[in-house]
Amino acid sequence: MTETDALRPFHNLSPDAILDAVEQAGYCCDGRVLALNSYENRVYQIGLEETAPIIAKFYRPARWSDAAILEEHRFTHELNEMEIPVATPLKDSQGETLLRSGPYRFALYPRVGGRAPELDNPETLRQLGRCLGRMHNVGAVREFRERPAIGLEEYVIGCREFLLAGDFVPADIRPAYAAATEQLIHRLSDRLRLLVECRRFRLHGDFHIGNILWQETHPFIVDFDDARTGPAIQDFWMLLSGDRPYMTARLTELLEGYTEFRNFDPLELQLLEPLRTLRIIYFSGWLARRWDDPAFPRAFPAFNTQRYWQDHILALREQLALIDEPPLEWHDWT
């Protein structure tokens, strides 16, 4: 891989290259290519002759191994076999789902429509809970072998070291960032010991509103690219924000649906804010690692500014306090 390939991994992925890849997979394209909202990978809607468009997802080079991508694909196929509505890659004539064209690996998906779910609607939350319960029943059959578990090293320690080794955090507030993250590492190391006591299994890993398409009466789940092994609460906390009473009400509705299909261990509620903290730190590290990709400065212009880092440090200090608060309460009355 050349230096340009490493810094700008999609610079050769032209519209012609995209269409050639899809046609090599056996589809007749009509020339339409629409870029969709994706940064880690590149995702396009491809027009086909005399049939509905399909979605082409080109994987970021060197992020996941082939084996890790195929684990994701197998997981979604297992879910699909249980009639759980998730985005599942199409198979080619040889039954393969991970395809190649030049230096790129890609997968093809049916196009699926939907809208954002209404998270203030109790029945929507119960439906999401039911969906998660069914997903987790399938996920719990085994752990991933090729994909990492959620943990402190990848999400916090590695990101902190990368940020402090570079020129991302302004010099005048680097000490504040270093101190806040060091405190959090000590606090999180203690809190995350609970992971050992929790049942861990295959998860979506990135279960937020942007990866949920609402279709009339049920959700359709997309983008398993961040699938990991972890505790059930990882797939809940991104749907929980706001003040404590509001989060408690949302959690109650989610778990009412979830427990129709699967038990939930209330002990995991102690992990909610620690897992949120992992994500906050990881997100900044992710942006920094991808900053040489031209798509990132365009999409995240506020990153790497003085104001961004001031707000980030404030958020970290708030998480220090939240981690020490009692967990949300939930009572299983069944």
Residues belonging to the active site: 206, 223
262: left (phi over 0), alpha (psi -120 to 50) or beta: beta
* DSSP string across 167-184: T-S-GGGHHHHHHHHHHH
Per the CB < 8 A criterion, the answer to whether 54 and 109 are in contact is yes
Q: Nearest 5°: CA angle at 203, between 202 and 208?
A: 170
Q: DSSP string spanning 195-215?
A: GGGS--EEE-S--SGGGEEEE
**What letter would DSSP give residue 86?**
B
> DSSP 3-state assignment of 101?
strand
d(CA 310, CA 80): 44
